[in-house]
Amino acid sequence: MVQGPDKASYRNRIGVISQNVLAACNFDLEFIYVLSGWEGSAHDYKVLQDALRKYYLADCEFPNRRNFLAPLRNTRYHLQDFRGEGCDPTNQNELFNLRHASLINVIERIFGIFKSRFLIFKSAPPFSFKTQAKIVLAFAALHNFLRQKCRSDEFSSDEEDETDVDNANQNSEENGGEENVETQEQEREYARHWRATIAADMWRDATNIGSQR
C-alpha cells in the first residue's frame, strides 16, 4: 500500500509492490535478527550491507564477500544431488556445498512456516508501508514465542513459497557501483581464500574420520 512517487521504488523484479526483508535464524527455527522496510526494488546486497555486522551464510542471490559466505558455483549444490548410493561428495568443494545447502535449508523452512502461520503475508493488508514493516518485526517476535512455548509441526512450509537456492545463472556480484573495482577484487580474493580454507578443513576432517573407521 505505497502511494505517490515512492511507489516505483517498491516494485520488485516481478512487478509486485513489496518490501525486501532480510532475516537470520538459528537451528531452532527462531528469528535472531530481522531487518524490514527496504524497498522491493532494493538489491539484496545493498540490504545486506545495511545489516552487516558479522559473518552470514548466504545463498546464490548474494556474492561471496568478506562478511558472508556463499556456495561454490559450478559445483553440485542441491541436497537431492547427494542422495542415493554413490552420490557422496567426491571433493572438498562438493562437501562444502552439501553442508552449505543443509544449513540454507533451515532458512527455507523458517520462512515457509512463518508465511503459513501468519497468512497476512500472503496478501496486501490495507496499512501504510511504515506499519507493514513493523508488522514483520512484531510477527517475527510472536513466531519466536510460539516456537519456544508451542513446539508444533502443525504449520508446514508451502512448496510454492519455497525458493530455489541455486540461482546460479543470476549475476549477484553487482553492488550499485558503491565501491571501486580494486576494493571489490580484494574482497573477492579474501572471500575466495576464506571459503577455500573452510572447504579444505572440512574435507580433511571428513577424510580423516573415514580413514579411521
Task: Report the alpha-carbon distance of residue 44 to residue 175 in Å, rounded.
Answer: 9
How many Cβ atoms are within 10 Å of 205's Cβ, its own excluded?
Answer: 11
Task: Report the alpha-carbon distance of residue 31 to residue 148 in Å, rounded.
Answer: 11
Task: Report the alpha-carbon distance of residue 29 to residue 97 in Å, rounded.
Answer: 21
Q: What is the pLDDT of residues 123-148, one digit of tens each?
A: 877 888 889 889 999 999 999 999 88
- Short-list 96, 63, 90, 61, CA closest to 77: 96
Q: What is the pLDDT of residues 52-84, one digit of tens each?
A: 756 678 888 888 887 788 999 889 988 898 998
Task: Report the alpha-carbon distance of residue 22 to residue 138 in Å, rounded.
Answer: 15
Cut 0.75: pTM above it = no
Q: Is 36 helix (H, G, I), strand (E, B) or coil?
A: strand
Instruction: Match 575466495 to its residue by C-alpha cell.
Output: 192
- Short-list 1, 5, 14, 70, CA closest to 41: 14
